[in-house]
Amino acid sequence: MAKTISDASVEEAQANASERRAKGEFVRGVSGFRSVLGQDADFPAEPGRYHLFVALNCPWCHRVTLARNVLGLQGSITMDVAFPNRTDEGDPEGPNNWEFAPDRHASLTGAPFAECTSETATGENFRLVRQIYRAEGSEERSVPILYDKKTKRIVSNESAEIIRMLNRQAGPLGSSTTDTDRPDLYPMDQAIRDDIDDLNDLIYRTINNGAYKAGFSSDQAVYANAFQAYFETLAALETRLAENDRPFLTGDKFTEADLRLFPTLYRHDPVYYVRMKLNGARILDYPHLWRWLCRVYALPGVAASNSLDHCRQGYFGRSWNKVVPLGPMRPLPYPEAYRHPELA
Ligand SMILES: N[C@@H](CCC(=O)N[C@@H](CS)C(=O)NCC(=O)O)C(=O)O
């Protein structure tokens, strides 16, 4: 399937991946399902036909829940939410599988998560995401998945491409907003597209995937490089917002570049600072980035697109001794802090 977005902003180069992994570097794999809604004859854009499988703690899923909400697609694209922790060693299907478990209790709250669902799209009521892939002969296991309820096939499991196709097909997919009211995440203007493409490359490499490279690599030098690149990019983005005095990364309008930066920065202070060892600074320490974060958080549909409780449970409930830290408390608990741009 022809890809529509430059590779470096979508996925890691896979050269020497096994050697790099053996040395302790975290290397993200490549998504196998790459069909395009409205372009492939098998998957025409229609309201009510498509479905998303997500986990709210996953930042790649966060991209697609953001796109679904800001594009007004909640009523026309259905969604199932997996439990934020994957199966463990004691599971009959083995560890590391995303599980639909609306009754499973979170250690953070001692109660089930209201947002977690069973699997409602395949007709099989599968317990594991892995079973959705296996039904197509694939051994992949990742979320997000864009799924066609009519043909019972996976359309795409690559978030960068899913958000692009939801944006392009929002009208035919049955958006509740009009073309004029709805944000255009990838506007026709070539200069803005070039700017978005450049930002996507930088932000994917150093921020979105860079956070994982810092937090999940076991090699000090790989970690140190990722840490440095992450904070260099934060400083560059702070300068960009300050110099241009613009509300969003590419100008007056919220675009794909903002959407793709948001899931990582939303997790930074309450989760990544500790879990990804990205303790160089908080987003709160960058006034323009903080105000940008609060500005995006205030957009319709953005706060509802995620849950920091799922993030905390997901990242800490599988790491170290599985105890979930309770802070930060000051200057305010999160996500309440995101309603206060004046804190920075
Ligand atoms: N390229 C994918 C990456 C998705 C991804 O890495 N998802 C993680 C969760 S944060 C996952 O499901 N990993 C499980 C696995 O690959 O076994 C995308 O952006 O859609």
Q: Is residue 328 part of a domain?
A: yes
Q: What is the pLDDT of residue 7?
A: 75
CATH number, residue 307: 1.20.1050.10
CA–CA distance, 230 with 213 (Å, rounded to integer): 10
Residues 174-189 have pLDDT tens digits of 999 999 999 999 999 9
Q: Is residue 9 part of a domain?
A: no
Residues forming a β-bridge with 139:
none
Residue 1 — very low, low, confident or very high, per pLDDT cuts 50/70/90? very low
Omega cis (within 30) before 331: yes
Residue 5 — very low, low, confident or very high, per pLDDT cuts 50/70/90? low
Q: Is residue 1 part of a domain?
A: no
| Positions marked catalytic | 58, 212
How far separated are the first and last CA of the chain, in Å rounded?
Answer: 45
Same domain, 43 and 162: yes
Point out the ligand 1 atom lying closest to the alpha carbon of residue 160.
19
Residue 3 — very low, low, confident or very high, per pLDDT cuts 50/70/90? very low
Q: How many domains does the chain have?
A: 2
Residue 6 — very low, low, confident or very high, per pLDDT cuts 50/70/90? low
Q: Is residue 52 part of a domain?
A: yes
Q: Is the CB of 314 under 6 A from ligand 1?
A: no
Q: Is the CB of 161 under 6 A from ligand 1?
A: no
Q: Is residue 291 part of a domain?
A: yes
User: How many percent of the chain have pLDDT more than 90?
Assistant: 86
**Which position has the higher pLDDT, 13 or 156?**
156
Residues 130-171 have pLDDT tens digits of 999 999 999 999 999 999 999 999 999 999 999 999 999 999
Q: Is the CB of 141 under 6 A from ligand 1?
A: yes
Domain boundary among 160, 182, 204: 182
Residue 4 — very low, low, confident or very high, per pLDDT cuts 50/70/90? low
Same domain, 36 and 167: yes
> Is residue 191 over pLDDT 80?
yes
- By the 8 A CB rule, do 54 and 144 touch? yes
Q: What is the pLDDT of residue 206?
A: 98
**99: alpha, beta or left, given left = phi > 0 and alpha = psi -120 to 50?**
beta
Report the candidate in 72, 50, 52 with the shortest Cα–Cα distance to residue 62: 52
Report the separation in Å between the CA atom of 145 and the middle of ligand 1, taken as the mean of its atom positions. Answer: 10
Same domain, 152 and 237: no
Report the separation in Å between the CA atom of 181 and the middle of ligand 1, taken as the mean of its atom positions. Answer: 32
CATH number, residue 83: 3.40.30.10
> Is residue 91 over pLDDT 70?
yes
Same domain, 124 and 175: yes
Domain boundary among 150, 182, 214: 182
Same domain, 324 and 204: yes
Q: Average pLDDT in the 310-338 region?
A: 93
Q: Is residue 176 part of a domain?
A: yes
> Is residue 129 over pLDDT 90?
yes
Residues 100-114 have pLDDT tens digits of 999 999 998 899 999
Q: Is the CB of 142 under 6 A from ligand 1?
A: yes
Point out the ligand 1 atom lying closest to the alpha carbon of residue 159.
20
- By the 8 A CB rule, do 161 and 34 touch? yes
Residues 203-248 have pLDDT tens digits of 999 999 999 999 999 999 999 999 999 999 999 999 999 997 889 9
Q: Is residue 24 part of a domain?
A: no
Same domain, 103 and 198: no
CA–CA distance, 333 with 173 (Å, rounded to integer): 37
Spatial CB neighbours of 253, under 8 Å, sequence gap ≥ 6: 183, 184, 187
Q: What is the pLDDT of residue 40?
A: 87
Three-state DSSP string of the chain: CCCCCCHHHCCCCCCCHHHHHHCCCCCCCCCCCECCCCCCCCCCCCCCCEEEEECCCCHHHHHHHHHHHHCCCCCCCEEEECCCCCCCCCCCCCCCCCECCCCCECCCCCCECCCCCCCCCCCCCCCEHHHHHHCCCCCCCCCCEEEECCCCEEEECCHHHHHHHHHHCHHHHCCCCCCCCCCCCCCCCHHHHHHHHHHHHHHHHHHHHHHHHHHHCCCHHHHHHHHHHHHHHHHHHHHHHHHHCCCECCECCCCHHHHHHHHHHHHHHHHHHHHCCCCCCCHHHCHHHHHHHHHHHCCCCCHHHCCHHHHHHHHHCCCCCCCCCCCCCCCCCCCHHHHCHHHC
Q: Which residue range is the domain that position 239 belongs to? A: 190-343
CA–CA distance, 87 with 89 (Å, rounded to integer): 7
Residues 250-280 have pLDDT tens digits of 999 999 999 999 999 999 999 999 999 999 9
Q: Is residue 16 part of a domain?
A: no
